[in-house]
Structure 1
Amino acid sequence: MEKKVEVEVHASSSLDDENLDISVDLIDDGLYLGNLACAHDHKTLEKLKITHILTIDLVPLPRTILDRPNLTFKYVKLADVPREDLISHLPECNDFLKQAICDNGSVLVHCYFGVSRSAAVVIGYIMEKYSLCYEDAFALVKSKRRFIGPNIGFVAQLKLFGHMGYKINKDDPRFKQFRLKMAGQKLKQIKILPQLFADLVKPDPGIIHERPDPIVYRCKKCRRIVASQNNIIPHIPKQVKIELAKKGIRPPPSKLTGLTCAENGQLLIDKLKSLACQIINEDAGASTVEEDGASPQVLDGYNEQNMVDSSIAGRDCPEVCRLMWFVEPMSWMEDVTHAPHGKLHCPKCRNKIGSFSWLMGCKCPCGQKVAPAFYLVPSKVEWSNIVQNVQITV
């Protein structure tokens, strides 16, 4: 039996001059979604028997509220803009909600209006709890609180969260590309890559290390290793993407008793493989990559119709475009930590082998736009599945 709680009264004086009405709705067992006024109102919290409060806002709750006994708090600093990193906070928020409800508590999740930020967090929790895709979880939450509306950046991140199996997989190419976009925006603002994103610049694969990747990419001129298969960020050709859109192929809606989001994603990947084999001409010649001068799109970091994960990123997968090799930034690449764009030269022979662009990205000969982009030109770099016992790096 569904329960619904709606409280509509004027906010208490603790909100100073703001004339914000209290608004709160019961979304799931022990889980309420509301606004800042609700978190400030002691009588409402008592009436709803709230034991935990999760604040998603630019500022935490005031000390007068935090000092109240019998309440447990968690604060996540987040602005309601598409370029904010929501997805990295979802696992810890879900853990907080699960623990609170497991302890027979009641949780209020709130931002300022209870429309975008807090709604996105609640949707992420519902997705994981019931193994739902984003669309189903959104519909469920909206049926309880009709005016929710996560911004488009949060929506894309929630979809990525679902397709990664409700966890953060740092090795997933889609998550890597999302973080690269985040880093590119920061580099644009402060002219240098922040320490927070230092892990995005991967070690030089040409330096001797244990258990080297058996698949590598070498400079054709001097045969110096410049990338390994793990550094490749695969993409689907634009032609395949268009065909997918025409056929309407997307993860089928999951239900409480149906497939998980991860299984839905695998269904799409399987269909994509079959379709790609019919479309892609594997002998297509490589052409030059042109910088795309168009303004960068909204930071989503993920496109449902470009679903390439590590399970289909190998060299022998026909649906992955190989007209251009997009890679992660690596330590041998000069200027990538403090320049918005530039050329990539072999660290040994100095031959130009590619380029990079944090902001504009580039367009592959297949027509697919990739941004940010760190790319190696196949005519300058050769693929090899043989790793020598000794690699000498100059």
Structure 2
Amino acid sequence: GGMVPVLAGLYVGGAESCSSPAALSAAGVVAVLTVDAEEPPAVPGLRAMHVRARDEPGADLLSRLDECAAVNPGFQAQLKLYEAMGCAVDTSSVLYKRYRLEMLSQRFSEPQDLPGEVFAVDPTTVCQTLNTEVLYRCRKCRRALFRSSSILSHTEGMGPTAFAHKRITESARLSGNGQEKCTSYFIEPVQWMEPALLGVMEGQLLCPKCTSKLGSFSWRGDQCSCGRWVTPAFQIHKSRVDEVRTLPVGNFQTAKT
């Protein structure tokens, strides 16, 4: 039969589809990939590639795939993420949360509406915290803000010199040893943040109870004190919160300041 359109500018057809240069030209075809036992006659003015294979279920196409097709880099990255999650979509995975936020940051210029599943549950709405989790509270008023499961860890950067386009003092260059500690927690958005995030690309994060400054956010990304650039960035300064660890025995809690 003739050429069957798959996408704009992409057609699938039998060997006879290449027998009419005029028809190919009229369809805007500029290159032809043929998978057949015999190489077809050359068509003037067209780029051509021939893969010698029969139309059989067991034909070896994998060995020639790399030279015939370029897989979308974005899809490749998603496949690597899928593999890293154990070949399952784990919505609780730090890798998946970071990926989902990166996709959102690319989609919105000024987010007016955010999917509810992007936000972690406000810890004040849940009575119990797992023994393995750490609760983080506002240092000033003790309001629960987020759990350790909301922290999106990142590999440490090379300190202040990680971003050469930013002005760096000579003293900072000399003192930087590549082992700078992160002074902020970079976390996923929590429900109490939603009013502050809508309609703007960046701003401050204030305690929902006492309004003391906790940190900042930027959908464009921000630089951690270790030098790593995080996009998007929802950072809470460690100096503004306390850790509360649940002990496995009894109902006592211990606070770390």
The bucket for the TM-score relative to the shorter chain is: 0.5 to 0.7
Task: Answer yes or no: is 1:158 the counterpart of 2:166.
Answer: no
| Residues 142 and 193 of structure 1, relative CA distance in 2, 3 Å threshold | farther
Aligned partner of residue 375 in structure 1, secondary structure = strand
| Residues 239 and 145 of structure 1, relative CA distance in 2, 3 Å threshold | closer
Counterpart position of 2:238? 378
Equivalent AA in structure 2 for residue 192 of structure 1: Q
Task: Answer yes or no: is 1:23 the counterpart of 2:23.
Answer: no
Note the alpha carbon deviations across 1:194-245, whole angstroms, 9 max, x for none.
Answer: 5xx33111221122334456411111101111110111111121149x9xxx
| Residues 378 and 143 of structure 1, relative CA distance in 2, 3 Å threshold | same
Aligned partner of residue 217 in structure 2, secondary structure = strand
Counterpart position of 1:231? 150
d(CA) in 2 for partners of 1:185, 1:222: 35
Counterpart position of 1:169? 90
d(CA) in 1 for partners of 2:252, 2:30: 69
Task: Answer yes or no: is 1:203 the counterpart of 2:213.
Answer: no
Matches within 5 A, 1:22-41: 23=33
TM-score, scaled to structure 1: 0.43
Equivalent AA in structure 2 for residue 324 of structure 1: S
Counterpart position of 1:338? 199
Note the alpha carbon deviations across 1:130-187, whole angstroms, 9 max, x for none.
Answer: xxxxxxxxxx946335132234333322322222222222112111111101111222
Matches within 5 A, 1:8-19: 9-10=17-18, 17-19=27-29
| Residues 152 and 21 of structure 1, relative CA distance in 2, 3 Å threshold | closer
| Residues 25 and 226 of structure 1, relative CA distance in 2, 3 Å threshold | farther
d(CA) in 2 for partners of 1:11, 1:208: 70
Q: 1:379 Cα deviation (Å)?
A: 1.1
Quick one: which of 316, 323, 326 aligns to 2:183?
A: 323
Counterpart position of 1:215? 134
Equivalent AA in structure 2 for residue 352 of structure 1: K
Matches within 5 A, 1:44-123: 48=55
d(CA) in 2 for partners of 1:206, 1:191: 25
d(CA) in 2 for partners of 1:353, 1:144: 52
d(CA) in 2 for partners of 1:21, 1:367: 46
Note the alpha carbon deviations across 1:224-282, whole angstroms, 9 max, x for none.
Answer: 11110111111121149x9xxxxxxxxxxxxxxxxxxxxxxxxxxxxxxxxxxxx986x
| Residues 353 and 215 of structure 1, relative CA distance in 2, 3 Å threshold | same
Give the greater-gyration-radius structure (CA). 2
Matches within 5 A, 1:118-129: none
Structure 1 alignment gaps of length 5 or more: 1-6, 27-46, 50-105, 107-139, 243-278, 285-320
| Residues 168 and 353 of structure 1, relative CA distance in 2, 3 Å threshold | same
Cα root mean square deviation, aligned = 3.7
Q: 1:381 Cα deviation (Å)?
A: 1.2
Structure 2 alignment gaps of length 5 or more: 1-13, 37-53, 162-176
**Larger helix proportion of the pair:** 1
d(CA) in 1 for partners of 2:65, 2:242: 56
Equivalent AA in structure 1 for residue 242 of structure 2: E
Question: Could you tell me whether the CA contact under 8 Å between 1:187 and 1:338 is conserved in 2?
Answer: no
d(CA) in 2 for partners of 1:179, 1:367: 23
Counterpart position of 2:105? 184
d(CA) in 2 for partners of 1:15, 1:163: 45
Counterpart position of 1:147? 68
Deviating beyond 6 angstroms after TM superposition, the runs of 4 or more aligned structure 1 residues are 11-16, 387-390
**Larger strand proportion of the pair:** 2
| Residues 14 and 327 of structure 1, relative CA distance in 2, 3 Å threshold | same
d(CA) in 2 for partners of 1:323, 1:354: 11
d(CA) in 1 for partners of 2:232, 2:63: 34
